[in-house]
Structure 1
Amino acid sequence: MTGPAGPPSRPEPPSAPRRGPTPRTDWAGLRADLRDAVPDATAALVITAVIFVVLYARIDAGSSPTLQVMPFLADADRYWMYWLCQAFGWSALLWAWVTVMLGLLRSSARPRWMPVGHARVERWHRTTSLTTIALMFAHAFMFFAELVRENEDGLGWGALLLSAFVDVFVPGGYSSGTGRVAILIGLIALYLSIPLGLAYYFRFRSGSRLWRALHRFIIVVYALSVWHTLLYGTNVWFDGWFRTVVWLLQLPVAALFLIRLLTPARPSERLRLRDPEARPRPLVAAARLGGRIAVAVCTVVLLGVVITGHDGGRTPGAETGELLVGPREVWMGLALLLTVIAVVVGVVRRDGRAAPAATDG
């Protein structure tokens, strides 16, 4: 004997398309940005060629202030790799300035006067970032090629390549003159730019909060790049209008950085000390307030440097003083920076684990 009949069966609704697992790395996005960066990189190469011609002509005419410090570079034909290296360095700094400005503009509240949306600004920021990293590497590689070409010690190919590699690509490997500090700073900027600049494409693995936290340290890379250029760059050996222009270009960066801190695009990053409900934790509030004050002070200092023209650069005809910062201080600063980054990563990961637990509870 059978039991009572159940309800009439209903046809099963069509199932939603199954989604695959979340990708661990955004390789498709990286490939798309690399394709979009081709026009940008082409423009960078054209600018680099123009800078190279200018540097070459100044050396050939004997009017470059670099010759007052390194007169052996007067043979423009012989040292063309060195001048191409310098040209890549200048275009890299220019592109770094552009991409930092775009990044700060993207992460700030959109002003009414901006004719394009945040999405387009972000695409420009990503492509110019990739171009900047490539230019920084080209800058270092051409210096490596110049050291290989010189081979003043008559080394064999193996020893020569190893020696040049250590001098150019190993932090602390270059051990003479101003380059002990300048090249060390430049290499730190290069090696930090790769993980901090490419963190976006690994956000699925690290989480969006972590990659945003890491990417904010890219402003330190830019500061190191400017420091490297003013310390060792061609045509900025002495106080003068060209060096002042380099400083002048930092004013909009500092101003936009302050605007970004005061009016961030993400409401959760705004500092609301008067609103008890939206007030962040005391440590977070103190860090955000301290950052705003520090950037405001730096902006005033930059303005003072531009107005006075005195920034510690060389003075023609005067004895060069000792460097105020040596390799030891640079290494200590790097250790402090890496410690801060490690603390930030730990805090972000801890908060990320605590949020699901609070939701489940």
Structure 2
Amino acid sequence: MTMASGSSTPNKKRRRSAPRFDWHGLGADARAAVPDASLALVVTGLIFWWLWTRIDNGTSPSIEIMPPFDDTSEYWWYWLCQAFGWSALLWAYVTLLFGLLRSGARPPWRWLTAARVEKLHRTTSLTTIGLMFLHMATFFAAELQTNFENQPMGELVRETLVKVFVPGGYTTGTGRIAILLGLIAFYLAIVLGLAFYVRQATGPRMWRALHRFIIVVYVLSVWHTLLYGTNVWFEGSFRTLVWALQMPLAGLLLLRLLAPARPRERLRLRGPRRESRPLPLTARLAGRLAVLATIVGLAAVIISGADGGRSGHGHSIGPWPEQWVIWTGLLVLTLVLVAVVHRLRPAHQTLGRGGNPENDDLATDQPQPTG
């Protein structure tokens, strides 16, 4: 007993002296993300060229919805903004794919080790956040470019900052829904995505529990792009393809929930259950049923082609839901996050092997020796 107590004291001191935010780790991942971010900029440039070409040759249905934007040389900031938005959605897809591969059963391929997948997940996550910010920054520039003749520059900058960067600040047209969804996704991406770098302060269990809510960011991003994006005139095969690409992610998420890598996360309807499981049985079962319902919904959208977004000539069912519904949903999500933090706060976590909360991840559902 004396040896165990003595060995735990240095561990506690090391945990107390560890920085609350891992700036060194963030810097290392940011440097490792340079090749990935460079590729993302190249892809953004190709998308920008594609959008520009479609506007110039008159084949883009965007002109039917927004006739004044047919002059690409005048409104190029707007089309650059759209290019960053599409590349951000693409990188969000890729980083979510890496995250699901990392958190589930290990892939059978030798070249795709767990460490490599985790590194790719972290670097693509940082690139995604950067692309989302550039999407917002170029939209800010596009708003300035469009309205600079209507009011003094100082007043225009202040109003545009509110419209572009403050949730709920954009109050006209479909933008009052689209931009609100996009901003919530961006700020949640920062909080939930960078939670990895405070895991020394929160403990690994809390970090993992919070980080799993990153799926909400992706859902909001798809919603922002496909249902209320101002240039989503892709009714037809392209739009259906984008929806169809969501099926592999939903299927991988369901597989991840049905066959988790950690034994303590498995859904067991019978047999002994431990009180130290991260979520109660009903919550874990509800999560699996929700993903299954999402897959059914995606299949219905793909088959019917009706998703509630824009159709031919820009007609749609109108912006829905109202902003108060979105704010209510955000409040519910915030309360859930607060409940997770309260449940998994380090001071009240069940100790794992050796009396160390950070080893709790290694524990299995088998009874441990007590002697």
Question: With structure 1 as the length reference, what TM-score do the two structures score?
Answer: 0.89
Larger Rg belongs to:
1
The answer on 1:314 being equivalent to 2:294 is: no
For residue 363 of structure 2, what is the aligned residue in structure 1?
none
Tell whether the 8 Å contact from 1:272 to 1:280 is kept in structure 2 after alignment.
no
1:305 pairs, out of 301, 305, 308, with 301
Please state if 1:275 is matched with 2:271. yes
Percent sequence identity over matched residues?
Answer: 56
Tell me if the contact between 1:262 and 1:292 (Cα under 8 Å) persists in the aligned partners. yes
CA distance in 1, matches of 2:110, 2:327: 41
Q: More deviation in 314-323 or 217-226?
A: 314-323
With over 3 angstroms needed to count, the CA separation of the structure-2 counterparts of 1:279 and 1:206, relative to structure 1, is closer
Change beyond 3 A, Cα 1:114–1:337: farther
TM-superposition CA deviations, 1:225-268 (whole Å, max 9, x none)? 00000123365225211111110111011001101111122222
Contact 2:65 2:313 in 1 (8 A): no
Structure 1 pair 354–113 and aligned structure 2 pair: CA distance change class (3 A): closer
Per-residue Cα deviation, 1:300-330 (whole angstroms, up to 9, x for no partner): 1111211222212323258533323121111
CA distance in 1, matches of 2:186, 2:297: 26
Which amino acid in structure 1 is aligned with residue 170 of structure 2?
Y
Please report how far the alpha carbon of residue 24 of structure 1 lies from its aligned counterpart in structure 2 after TM superposition.
Answer: 2.6
Aligned residues: 342
Structure 1 unaligned blocks of 5 or more: 1-15
Cα distance in structure 2, aligned partners of 1:87 and 1:319: 23
Change beyond 3 A, Cα 1:281–1:50 = closer
Q: For residues 50-107 of structure 1, what are the alpha-carbon distances to aligned partners after superposition, in whole Å with 9 as ceiling and x for unaligned?
A: 0000001111112111111111111110000000000000000000000001001100
* 1:146 lines up with 2:146 in the alignment: no
1:185 and 2:185 aligned: no
Match of 1:22 among 18, 26, 33: 18
Q: 1:170 aligns with which of 166, 171, 178?
A: 166
- CA distance in structure 2 between the aligned counterparts of 1:282 and 1:110, rounded to whole angstroms: 21
Residue 224 of structure 2: aligned partner: 228
The CA distance in 2 between the partners of 1:89 and 1:168, in whole Å, is: 14
Q: Partners of 2:350 and 2:277 in 1: how far apart? A: 15
* TM-score normalised over the length of structure 2: 0.86
1:1-361 matches, cutoff 5 A: 21-113=17-109, 115-152=111-148, 154-233=150-229, 235-276=231-272, 284-317=280-313, 319-349=315-345, 352-353=347-348, 355=350
CA distance in 2, matches of 1:234, 1:40: 28
The 2-side partners of 1:234 and 1:52 are apart by: 16
C-alpha distance in 2 between matches for 1:356 and 1:210: 14
Task: Tell which deviates more after alignment, 120-129 or 235-244.
Answer: 235-244
Unpaired runs of 5+ residues, structure 2, are 1-9, 357-371
Superposition RMSD in Å: 2.4
CA contact (8 A) 1:92 1:132 kept: yes
Between the aligned partners of 2:142 and 2:313, the Cα distance in structure 1 is: 29
